[in-house]
């Protein structure tokens, strides 16, 4: 590991869904900054591979199988981190499986799909906070980062569970930040845009024109990588963000700041075909 000042030296972190994607990159970045990281996931082979990468780079990490849809798993996750390293300073609530009722409107989603989705997206954060806060309080403070989404800010059709859940992540972040700020515990959220994870990288490799279409939707004309979110999380967990709490940091390449009417016109290629047209604004 490169010898430099580490912003999280001596701290202990838990990352849910830490095997790959955003969680994988976040686990590695936290370790690079000196944190001891408990990498939790249901995919143990991938989690073990990620921990091996961390250790090969000189970091400290352990693996724990955690299904965030199960109450006892979340409680055990917090206790395991403390048992391993004697404290808990950081929790990153990232895990979610999109297979659980993320598609459909209120006419399509079943009650069971709703309950499972809300359990994974929202209840898991409530429980992780419930068990992490007392441990962080022993240290005089800590940091929790919840992964929301641009889908918590802007709605897409036929995504009732996901859009509602990610909106609730922003709400629970504000509420818990208000409740636990007096304890020195900062709680923030990240709203990622389109992030090309390992799984999506395979998809876009086979469909480069589809990736180009996504990139063109962004003012920066590029999509994000897991490390972009990991970097933002490290910042929010560091002392550099000591006066930031209850905030939802949008890391989306500018996707949500552009005027949608202009965006639609550009995507349709209308202005390219009609360069003399003046838009009414």
Residue-wise burial string across 88-123, b where 16 or more C-beta atoms lie within 10 A, e elsewhere: bbbbbbbbbeeebbbeeeeeebeeebbebbbbbbbb
- Residues forming the active site: 162
- Of the candidates 237, 232, 41, 70, which has an alpha carbon nearest to the alpha carbon of residue 61? 41
E-strand spans in the chain?
A: 12-16, 36-41, 60-65, 90-93, 142-147, 185-192, 248-251
Size (the chain), residues = 281
E-strand spans in 25-165?
A: 36-41, 60-65, 90-93, 142-147
- For residue 160, give both structure tokens: 């009732």
């Amino acid at each position: 590991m490169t010898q430099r000042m580490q912003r999280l030296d001596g701290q202990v972190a838990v990352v849910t869904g830490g095997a790959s994607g955003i969680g994988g990159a976040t686990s590695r970045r936290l370790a690079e900054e000196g944190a001891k990281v408990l990498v939790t996931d249901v995919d143990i082979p991938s989690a073990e591979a990620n921990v091996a990468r961390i250790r090969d780079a000189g970091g400290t990490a352990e693996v724990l199988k955690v299904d965030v849809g199960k109450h006892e798993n979340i409680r055990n996750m917090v206790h395991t981190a403390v048992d391993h390293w004697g404290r808990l300073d950081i929790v990153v609530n990232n895990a979610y499986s999109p297979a659980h009722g993320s598609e459909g409107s209120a006419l399509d989603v079943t009650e069971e799909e709703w309950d499972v989705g809300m359990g994974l997206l929202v209840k898991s954060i409530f429980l992780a906070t419930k068990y992490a806060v007392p441990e962080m309080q022993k240290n005089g403070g800590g940091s929790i980062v919840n992964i929301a989404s641009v889908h918590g800010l802007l709605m897409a059709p036929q995504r009732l569970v996901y859009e509602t859940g990610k909106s609730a992540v922003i709400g629970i972040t504000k509420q818990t930040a208000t409740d636990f700020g007096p304890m020195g515990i900062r709680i923030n959220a990240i709203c990622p845009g389109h992030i090309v994870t390992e799984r999506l990288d395979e998809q876009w490799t086979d469909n480069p024109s589809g990736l180009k279409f996504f990139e063109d939707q962004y003012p920066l004309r590029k999509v994000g990588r897991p490390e972009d979110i990991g970097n933002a999380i490290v910042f929010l967990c560091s002392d550099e963000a000591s006066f930031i709490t209850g905030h939802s940091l949008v890391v989306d390449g500018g996707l949500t700041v552009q005027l949608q009417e202009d965006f639609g016109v550009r995507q349709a290629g209308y202005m390219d075909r009609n360069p003399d047209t003046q838009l009414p604004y």
